[in-house]
Amino acid sequence: MQVIILDTPEQVAEKSAQWVTELIEQKPAAVLGLATGSTPISLYQLLVEQYRQGVLSFANVTTFNLDEYHNIAAENLQSYRTFMQKHLFEHVDIAVSRTFLPTCSAEQNPRLQGEEYEQLIKAKGGIDLQILGIGANGHIGFNEPTSSLASRTRIKTLTKQTLADNSRLFTQDEVQPTMAMTMGIATILEANHVLLMATGENKASAVKQMITGPLNAMCPASALQLHQHAVIIIDKAAASELTEQDYFLWADKEQRKVTDDHGLLTVC
Ligand code: GLP
């Protein structure tokens, strides 16, 4: 695990954007795993800016989102499809037909839909870089605590904590879904690289458990300890409970001696 601690959330977004752009430069037909939530919004803004400046193209990129609410219409303002359209897809040159989310309507069978999503990821050659956020309870995607570390794309019931954390995003008139389809932990671990972004003090405890806690289904993000190429990019607030902060800051400096910023994807 490579842990990069930066001063501000803006720097977290900049560093993460650098990873994504480097990947697309190296591999224009890259397969990106995408996340929703408030944390990656600033990353998407930077990617849109780069596209507008003509230095980045998504024309050959394929994307797979981590999760989507169960039985939600794509055009619903709360769907993750709407989120992705609004924050990234509508503003860049990606064809909607190359963007995938693990959808499942009431009429569909979640098990079959999950399997189909897994097959589709495989058919596109697998995910080159998976972007992740982290829930305050340590979830990644919607893999809530107690999720099997061997899980695959499936339906999950959200925890009370996640529902409470995300309730801020719903108006009084909107129904907050309690179930979602999500890539599993094993699905996420199969990505060639994973990049987890976390900012703010409310993530500090989950970040500590993810990086230095035991590998444990109660902190699904701790499964990233098993990944060969996982980079954790966090701000100081999210790192505030890490007792190994000094080591990570020093290791990051040392690492720069053997690789420049443009060698990010070959480090870890
Ligand atoms: C959501 C998503 C996760 C996201 C997390 C954190 O529920 N399913 O993929 O990482 O919660 O969200 P935020 O970045 O808003 O804190």
Domain containing 162 — which CATH number? 3.40.50.1360
The CB density around residue 192, as the number of other CB atoms within 10 Å, is 18
Q: Is 244 left (phi over 0), alpha (psi -120 to 50) or beta?
A: alpha
CA of 41 to the centre of ligand 1 (A): 11
When divided into structural domains, the chain yields a total of: 1
| Residue bearing the CA closest to ligand 1, atom 1 | 37
Q: Residues lining ligand 1, CB < 6 A?
A: 35-39, 66-67, 133-135, 141-142, 162, 166
Nearest to 213 by CA among 243, 238, 182, 253: 243
The reported pTM is: 0.95
| Contact yes or no for 68/80 (Cβ under 8 A) | yes
Residues 34, 65 contacting (CB under 8 angstroms): yes
Q: Which atom of ligand 1 is nearest to the CA of 40?
A: 14
The parent domain of residue 111 ranges over: 2-266
pLDDT at 17 over 50: yes
* Nearest atom in ligand 1 to 35's CA: 9
* For the CA of 142, the nearest atom of ligand 1: 8
pLDDT of residue 256: 82
Query: Going by CA atoms, what residue is nearest to atom 6 of ligand 1?
Result: 135
How far, in Å, is the centroid of ligand 1 from the Cα of 256? Answer: 30
Higher local confidence (pLDDT), 153 or 261: 153
The predicted-structure confidence for 76-116, as pLDDT tens digits, reads as follows 999 999 999 999 999 999 999 999 999 999 999 999 999 99
